[in-house]
Amino acid sequence: MKKLAVTLALAAIATSTFAQGLVKFANNATTLVSYGQQGGALTATTPGASFYYALLVAPMGTVDPLAFSFAGIYATNSAATTGGRFQGGSLLGVSVAGWAAGESRSFEIAGWSANLGATWNPAWLTTHPGGSQDYFGVSAIGAGLAGGTDSNGASIPALALVGAAPSISSGWGMTSVVPEPGTMALAGLGAAALMIFRRRK
Protein backbone atom coordinates (compact mmCIF):
# COMPACT_ATOMS: atom_id res chain seq x y z
CA MET A 1 0.00 0.00 0.00
CA LYS A 2 2.84 2.38 0.90
CA LYS A 3 4.54 1.54 -2.39
CA LEU A 4 1.38 2.45 -4.29
CA ALA A 5 1.05 5.74 -2.39
CA VAL A 6 4.66 6.69 -3.18
CA THR A 7 4.18 5.80 -6.85
CA LEU A 8 1.02 7.92 -7.07
CA ALA A 9 2.76 10.84 -5.34
CA LEU A 10 5.69 10.69 -7.78
CA ALA A 11 3.29 10.50 -10.71
CA ALA A 12 1.43 13.55 -9.41
CA ILE A 13 4.67 15.50 -9.08
CA ALA A 14 5.71 14.52 -12.61
CA THR A 15 2.31 15.49 -14.00
CA SER A 16 2.34 18.88 -12.25
CA THR A 17 5.82 19.53 -13.66
CA PHE A 18 4.65 18.83 -17.20
CA ALA A 19 1.55 20.96 -16.61
CA GLN A 20 3.64 24.10 -16.17
CA GLY A 21 5.06 25.48 -19.38
CA LEU A 22 7.31 28.53 -19.62
CA VAL A 23 6.55 31.94 -21.15
CA LYS A 24 8.59 35.14 -21.46
CA PHE A 25 6.49 38.02 -20.16
CA ALA A 26 8.55 40.88 -21.60
CA ASN A 27 7.95 43.16 -24.58
CA ASN A 28 10.21 44.98 -27.03
CA ALA A 29 10.56 48.29 -28.85
CA THR A 30 7.80 47.47 -31.34
CA THR A 31 5.25 46.37 -28.75
CA LEU A 32 5.25 49.30 -26.37
CA VAL A 33 2.00 49.97 -24.51
CA SER A 34 0.44 53.44 -24.39
CA TYR A 35 -2.24 55.07 -22.24
CA GLY A 36 -4.46 58.15 -22.35
CA GLN A 37 -7.25 59.52 -24.47
CA GLN A 38 -7.49 58.71 -28.15
CA GLY A 39 -5.31 61.09 -30.12
CA GLY A 40 -3.30 61.99 -27.01
CA ALA A 41 -1.74 58.68 -26.00
CA LEU A 42 1.45 58.56 -23.95
CA THR A 43 3.90 55.69 -23.61
CA ALA A 44 3.30 53.72 -20.40
CA THR A 45 6.65 54.68 -18.92
CA THR A 46 8.30 54.53 -15.53
CA PRO A 47 8.07 54.67 -12.55
CA GLY A 48 7.78 50.95 -12.17
CA ALA A 49 4.53 49.45 -10.89
CA SER A 50 2.49 52.35 -12.28
CA PHE A 51 0.81 49.83 -14.61
CA TYR A 52 0.00 46.14 -14.23
CA TYR A 53 -0.47 43.39 -16.82
CA ALA A 54 -2.15 39.98 -16.72
CA LEU A 55 -1.82 36.95 -19.00
CA LEU A 56 -5.14 35.63 -20.32
CA VAL A 57 -5.32 32.27 -22.12
CA ALA A 58 -7.84 30.25 -24.13
CA PRO A 59 -7.89 27.12 -26.32
CA MET A 60 -5.96 27.41 -29.57
CA GLY A 61 -7.89 29.26 -32.25
CA THR A 62 -10.11 31.26 -29.88
CA VAL A 63 -10.98 34.63 -31.45
CA ASP A 64 -13.50 36.05 -28.96
CA PRO A 65 -11.57 38.35 -26.55
CA LEU A 66 -14.17 37.65 -23.84
CA ALA A 67 -13.53 33.89 -23.97
CA PHE A 68 -10.07 34.20 -22.36
CA SER A 69 -9.41 33.50 -18.68
CA PHE A 70 -6.71 34.75 -16.29
CA ALA A 71 -3.71 32.41 -16.16
CA GLY A 72 -2.54 33.60 -12.75
CA ILE A 73 0.50 35.42 -14.15
CA TYR A 74 1.12 39.13 -13.53
CA ALA A 75 3.73 41.61 -14.76
CA THR A 76 4.34 45.32 -14.33
CA ASN A 77 6.05 48.08 -16.28
CA SER A 78 9.72 47.95 -15.41
CA ALA A 79 11.69 50.97 -14.28
CA ALA A 80 14.85 49.21 -15.45
CA THR A 81 13.92 49.13 -19.13
CA THR A 82 12.99 51.61 -21.84
CA GLY A 83 9.67 53.32 -21.19
CA GLY A 84 6.54 51.31 -21.76
CA ARG A 85 8.14 47.90 -21.53
CA PHE A 86 7.10 45.33 -18.99
CA GLN A 87 8.40 42.15 -17.45
CA GLY A 88 7.34 39.60 -14.89
CA GLY A 89 9.61 37.17 -13.11
CA SER A 90 12.64 35.76 -14.89
CA LEU A 91 13.31 36.76 -18.49
CA LEU A 92 14.31 33.09 -18.98
CA GLY A 93 10.71 32.05 -18.48
CA VAL A 94 7.78 32.20 -16.07
CA SER A 95 5.84 29.04 -15.22
CA VAL A 96 2.15 28.96 -16.18
CA ALA A 97 0.18 26.39 -14.21
CA GLY A 98 -2.12 24.29 -16.36
CA TRP A 99 -0.40 25.21 -19.64
CA ALA A 100 1.83 22.23 -20.35
CA ALA A 101 5.16 22.53 -22.12
CA GLY A 102 4.68 21.89 -25.83
CA GLU A 103 0.96 22.68 -25.68
CA SER A 104 -0.34 25.40 -28.02
CA ARG A 105 -2.80 28.04 -26.80
CA SER A 106 -4.16 31.41 -27.77
CA PHE A 107 -3.43 34.28 -25.39
CA GLU A 108 -3.77 38.01 -24.85
CA ILE A 109 -2.43 40.51 -22.33
CA ALA A 110 -4.59 42.94 -20.38
CA GLY A 111 -3.09 46.11 -18.89
CA TRP A 112 -4.40 48.66 -16.40
CA SER A 113 -3.26 51.61 -14.29
CA ALA A 114 -2.07 50.92 -10.75
CA ASN A 115 -4.76 53.13 -9.21
CA LEU A 116 -7.26 50.38 -10.08
CA GLY A 117 -5.31 47.98 -7.86
CA ALA A 118 -2.79 45.20 -8.38
CA THR A 119 -5.37 42.41 -8.69
CA TRP A 120 -6.95 41.26 -11.96
CA ASN A 121 -10.70 41.85 -12.21
CA PRO A 122 -12.43 39.86 -15.00
CA ALA A 123 -15.35 42.30 -14.95
CA TRP A 124 -13.07 44.82 -16.68
CA LEU A 125 -13.47 42.85 -19.91
CA THR A 126 -17.17 43.70 -20.07
CA THR A 127 -17.46 46.81 -17.91
CA HIS A 128 -14.82 49.50 -18.25
CA PRO A 129 -13.49 50.73 -14.88
CA GLY A 130 -14.48 54.29 -15.88
CA GLY A 131 -13.07 57.59 -14.67
CA SER A 132 -10.63 59.89 -16.42
CA GLN A 133 -7.61 58.42 -14.62
CA ASP A 134 -8.62 54.74 -14.83
CA TYR A 135 -6.78 53.20 -17.76
CA PHE A 136 -7.48 49.74 -19.15
CA GLY A 137 -6.77 47.91 -22.41
CA VAL A 138 -6.30 44.48 -23.99
CA SER A 139 -3.74 43.43 -26.59
CA ALA A 140 -4.33 41.67 -29.86
CA ILE A 141 -4.61 37.86 -29.69
CA GLY A 142 -1.40 35.87 -29.98
CA ALA A 143 -0.73 32.14 -30.19
CA GLY A 144 2.09 29.72 -29.48
CA LEU A 145 3.28 26.72 -27.50
CA ALA A 146 4.65 26.92 -23.99
CA GLY A 147 8.30 26.16 -23.42
CA GLY A 148 9.92 23.87 -20.89
CA THR A 149 10.31 20.09 -20.83
CA ASP A 150 7.39 18.32 -22.46
CA SER A 151 5.96 14.87 -21.65
CA ASN A 152 8.47 13.25 -24.05
CA GLY A 153 11.42 14.86 -22.30
CA ALA A 154 12.09 17.32 -25.13
CA SER A 155 13.35 20.78 -24.16
CA ILE A 156 11.43 23.70 -25.71
CA PRO A 157 12.46 27.39 -25.42
CA ALA A 158 10.18 29.59 -23.34
CA LEU A 159 7.41 31.17 -25.43
CA ALA A 160 7.89 34.90 -26.06
CA LEU A 161 4.42 36.37 -25.54
CA VAL A 162 5.28 39.46 -27.56
CA GLY A 163 7.44 39.91 -30.64
CA ALA A 164 7.15 38.27 -34.04
CA ALA A 165 3.88 36.67 -35.14
CA PRO A 166 2.05 34.51 -34.15
CA SER A 167 2.83 36.13 -30.79
CA ILE A 168 1.58 39.65 -30.04
CA SER A 169 3.51 41.66 -32.62
CA SER A 170 2.27 45.19 -31.98
CA GLY A 171 1.61 47.48 -29.05
CA TRP A 172 -1.81 48.49 -27.80
CA GLY A 173 -3.43 51.32 -25.89
CA MET A 174 -4.98 51.57 -22.44
CA THR A 175 -7.75 54.15 -22.50
CA SER A 176 -10.08 55.74 -19.97
CA VAL A 177 -13.76 56.50 -20.26
CA VAL A 178 -14.38 60.24 -20.23
CA PRO A 179 -17.94 61.47 -20.82
CA GLU A 180 -18.42 63.15 -24.21
CA PRO A 181 -19.48 66.84 -24.14
CA GLY A 182 -23.02 65.85 -25.23
CA THR A 183 -23.29 63.35 -22.38
CA MET A 184 -22.05 65.91 -19.88
CA ALA A 185 -24.57 68.46 -21.18
CA LEU A 186 -27.42 65.97 -20.79
CA ALA A 187 -26.29 65.19 -17.26
CA GLY A 188 -26.23 68.92 -16.48
CA LEU A 189 -29.75 69.40 -17.85
CA GLY A 190 -30.96 66.46 -15.81
CA ALA A 191 -29.46 67.91 -12.63
CA ALA A 192 -31.02 71.31 -13.37
CA ALA A 193 -34.42 69.71 -13.97
CA LEU A 194 -34.20 67.90 -10.63
CA MET A 195 -33.38 71.14 -8.80
CA ILE A 196 -36.33 72.96 -10.45
CA PHE A 197 -38.65 70.06 -9.63
CA ARG A 198 -37.57 70.10 -5.97
CA ARG A 199 -38.08 73.87 -5.67
CA ARG A 200 -41.59 73.62 -7.08
CA LYS A 201 -42.45 71.03 -4.44
User: Across the strands, what pairs with 101?
Assistant: none
List the pLDDT tens digit at each of the 201 positions of the chain: 444 333 333 333 333 444 699 999 888 778 888 888 766 788 887 677 789 999 999 999 999 999 999 999 998 887 665 567 787 656 678 899 999 999 999 999 999 999 999 999 999 999 888 788 899 999 999 999 999 999 999 999 999 999 888 999 998 999 987 654 444 434 444 444 445 544 555
Edge-first strand order for the sheet with 94-97 is 94-97, 20-24, 159-160
Domain residue extents for the chain: 2-200
Q: If we measure between CA atoms, which residue out of 147, 200, 122 comes closest to residue 24?
A: 147
Helix H, strand E, coil C: the string for 121-189 is CHHHHCCCCCEEEEEEEECCCEEEECEEECCCCCEECCEECECCCCCECCCCEEEEECCCHHHHHHHHH
Evaluate whether 145 touches 7 at the Cβ level (below 8 Å). no
Answering whether pTM is above 0.85, one says no
State the burial class of residue 200 (Cβ atoms within 10 Å of its Cβ: 0-12, 13-18, 19+). Answer: exposed
Q: Where are the beta strands (DSSP E) in 51-119?
A: 51-59, 69-77, 86-87, 94-97, 104-113
Beta-strand pair 86-87/104-113: unpaired
The sign of the dihedral angle between the CA atoms of 172, 178, 179, 180 is: negative
